[in-house]
Every structure is written in structure tokens, then in C-alpha cells.
């Protein structure tokens, strides 16, 4: 629990710093801004790791603790990178919020998944089944939004 809280605090602090441009990650690496590479790598990790987690927890139940740790902390780190990306773009495009597009909807959905994942991991009782249900099905929305945002980002849409 403490490591999760420390990571969330790091997400908040680094996101605020990115929003107010205490550091800039808007330099090119190849044909894309570094800030976009952060979110591309993090989104790819999330998109690949969630189905792997789903399969491994059923096929290899003896490794469940390890699989859960990789899922939990890997996705928290991915959320951290995406939070930096979102905050810096939010600060950069403050005068043109319409340019944020689908990413503006994507971030709250991802935040809901992270919040319900944390609650699911550390909560027991009746309400935990509802949290689990929300966590599970909002992932479908996440995949649709990631696809649309990616197609939009690569100017396909």
C-alpha cells in the first residue's frame, strides 16, 4: 500500500511540474515529441499487459502474486508516464482545449481504472464486487478510446 501511495504522490507532483513547465519534454526524438513517446510506450504496455495479466492469472495461478505485482506496478508506472504526457499537453494547449480531443476523455477513464484497481486491491466487503465490475468493464472503454486517440494522433482520423 505504501509503495502505491508513494507512486501516486510522484504522479501528482510530476504532473503539476509538467503542467506548469518546470521541465519541458516537448523536444523531438525522431519524428515525434518525447512527451508523445512516453505515452506511446505506456499505452502499448497497458494494451499488451492487461490481456497477458488476464490469461496468466488463469493459466498460471501458482504465479498469481508475481503476475499481480507486474500488473499493478507496471500499470501505475504507465499511468505516471501518461499523466506527465496529459499534464504537459494540457498546459501547452490551455488556449486551445479542443485540440486535446479524445485524450481529454481518455485520461479520466484511465484514472477511473487506476482508482478502482487500487480499491479492488485493498478493499474487501460487499462493495468490492461493484468496484471489480467497474474496473473490468471500463477497460473496454479504455481500449476503444486508446484506439481512437491513436488514430487521431497519427492523423488517420
- Give the confidence band of 45 by pLDDT, cuts at 50, 70, 90: very high
Q: What is the pLDDT of residue 44?
A: 95
Q: What average pLDDT does the structure give for the chain? A: 89
**Number of independent structural domains in the chain:** 1
Q: What domain range includes position 8?
A: 2-153
Torsion angles phi and psi, residue 28, rounded to 5 = -80, 140
pLDDT for residue 94 is more than 80: no
Q: Which DSSP string do the residues of the chain spell out, in sequence order?
A: -HHHHHHHHHHHHHHHHHHTTSS----EETTEEHHHHHHHHHHHHHHHHHHHHHHHHHH-GGGHHHHHHHHHHHHHHHHHHHHHHHHHHHHHTTT-GGGGTTHHHHHHHHHHHHHHHHHHHH--STHHHHHHHHHHHHHHHHHHHHHHHHHHHTT--
Torsion angles phi and psi, residue 32, rounded to 5 = -125, 155
pLDDT for residue 30 is more than 70: yes
Span 56-84, pLDDT tens digits: 999 999 998 999 999 999 999 999 999 99
Amino acid at each position: 500500500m505504501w509503495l502505491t501511495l508513494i507512486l501516486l504522490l510522484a504522479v501528482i507532483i510530476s504532473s503539476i511540474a509538467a503542467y506548469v513547465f518546470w521541465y519541458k519534454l516537448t523536444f523531438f526524438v525522431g519524428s515525434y515529441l518525447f512527451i508523445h513517446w512516453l505515452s506511446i510506450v505506456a499505452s502499448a504496455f497497458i494494451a499488451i499487459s492487461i490481456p497477458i495479466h488476464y490469461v496468466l492469472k488463469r493459466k498460471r495461478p501458482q504465479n498469481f502474486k508475481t503476475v499481480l505485482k507486474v500488473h499493478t506496478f507496471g500499470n501505475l508506472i504507465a499511468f505516471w508516464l501518461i499523466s506527465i504526457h496529459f499534464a504537459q499537453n494540457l498546459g501547452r494547449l490551455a488556449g486551445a482545449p479542443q485540440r486535446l480531443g479524445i485524450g481529454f476523455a481518455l485520461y479520466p477513464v484511465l484514472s477511473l481504472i487506476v482508482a478502482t484497481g487500487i480499491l479492488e486491491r485493498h478493499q474487501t466487503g460487499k462493495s468490492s464486487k461493484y468496484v471489480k465490475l467497474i474496473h473490468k468493464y471500463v477497460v473496454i472503454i479504455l481500449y476503444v478510446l486508446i484506439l481512437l486517440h491513436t488514430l487521431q494522433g497519427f492523423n488517420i482520423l
